[in-house]
Amino acid sequence: MLVIQIYADNPLRNFNYLIACPSSREALVVDPLDVTRCLAAAKQHGLKITKILNTHEHWDHIDGNEEMRRHTGARLYAHNGAMGVIDHVDVGLYAGDTIAVGQSIKLKVLDTPGHTRSHVCLLANSAVPGLFCGDTLFNAGAGNCHNGGNVDDLYDTFSQQLAKLPDNTKIYPGHDYILTNLKFTLDREPGNRAAEDMLNMLLDHDPHNAYITTMAEERRINSFFRLDSPVIIDKLKSEDPDFSAAPSPRDVFTALRARRNTW
């Protein structure tokens, strides 16, 4: 599997992706906001874009659809629940569906509500798994629930699906927020050595050559996977006298998401 991460270099710090079959050179493009860069990358690598995948319906993930369709004739895939708000969807997706790319790539569809109610992630079950996670999971962080989302759904997605992925799964999010997210982790869990080390390593981070985390790293640096950390829990208790004396993981996740909203 060939994965090309394309940084849009815009204020929202979007990532677009090409997922390609090395033998047939067919490619799927994920959330192609920066169509010019996506087409240039496809040309550079000798790829033919035949499919477009929108992880969800927000404008910064769908606005390039029509231009990309005009240039490539590619078919458009999106969550079945988003077909009423994303124009010209050819295939509505359900949990467990498979998208084939060329001769060798099969991408499993995960139904991952939370950031929006109609959000999908793609899991490439290759020798080294890869998760293309839109705005559900970020490197060292979690998506917000501001525009059509729900924090309980997001917690369920994290706890019931993402937390069960293998350690070697590579994480390919929809935006480059890693430095800010690492700083949030350290605000919530001072002394997290793994987050400190990664932040120091990435201070001169170039999003055009972004660091790709794994699930093993996320479990160490991402506070939304560290819901049983005594440091995180004690800090939440110290900040809110009404916070539960024995919080559930859902309680901790919800409190962290609320603090990240205004952090």
Region 231-243: mean pLDDT is 96
- The answer to whether 54 and 66 are in contact (CB under 8 A) is no
Residue type, 254: T
The reply, when asked if residue 115 is annotated as ligand binding, is yes
Q: What is the pLDDT of residues 15-47, one digit of tens each?
A: 999 999 999 999 999 999 999 999 999 999 999
Residue 213 and residue 170: Cα distance in Å, rounded?
6
Region 116-130: mean pLDDT is 94
Q: What is the pLDDT of residue 75?
A: 98
Whether residue 143 is predicted with pLDDT greater than 90 in this model: the reply is yes
Q: What is the pLDDT of residue 215?
A: 98
The reply, when asked if residue 119 is annotated as ligand binding, is no
The reply, when asked if residue 56 is annotated as ligand binding, is yes
Residue 6 and residue 38: Cα distance in Å, rounded?
7
The reply, when asked if residue 60 is annotated as ligand binding, is yes
Q: How confident is the model at residue 133 (pLDDT cuts 50, 70, 90)?
A: very high
End-to-end CA distance of the chain: 37
Mean pLDDT of the chain: 97
- Please give the DSSP secondary-structure letter assigned to residue 126: S
Q: How confident is the model at residue 127 (pLDDT cuts 50, 70, 90)?
A: confident
Region 174-187: mean pLDDT is 98
Domains of the chain in sequence order = 2-261 (3.60.15.10)
Q: What is the pLDDT of residue 125?
A: 82
pLDDT above 90 as % of the chain: 97
Q: State pTM to two decimals.
A: 0.96
Region 202-223: mean pLDDT is 97
Strands ordered across the beta sheet of 170-173: 98-101, 105-111, 120-124, 130-134, 170-173
Q: What is the pLDDT of residue 40?
A: 98
What are φ and ψ of residue 134, in 5° steps? 50, -125
The reply, when asked if residue 79 is annotated as ligand binding, is no
Residue 154 and residue 258: Cα distance in Å, rounded?
13
The reply, when asked if residue 61 is annotated as ligand binding, is yes
Residue 170 and residue 176: Cα distance in Å, rounded?
15
Task: Give the containing element (helix H, strand E) for 106.
Answer: strand 105-111
In Å, how far are 13, 60, 100, 119, 170 from 166, measured between CA atoms? 27, 29, 22, 21, 9
Whether residue 149 is predicted with pLDDT greater than 90 in this model: the reply is yes
- Please give the DSSP secondary-structure letter assigned to residue 12: T
Who's near 127: CB < 8 A, 6+ residues apart?
Answer: none
Q: Tokens for 150?
A: 């729900």
Q: What is the pLDDT of residue 126?
A: 85
Whether residue 255 is predicted with pLDDT greater than 90 in this model: the reply is yes
Q: What is the pLDDT of residues 98-108, one digit of tens each?
A: 999 998 899 99
Residue 25 and residue 252: Cα distance in Å, rounded?
45
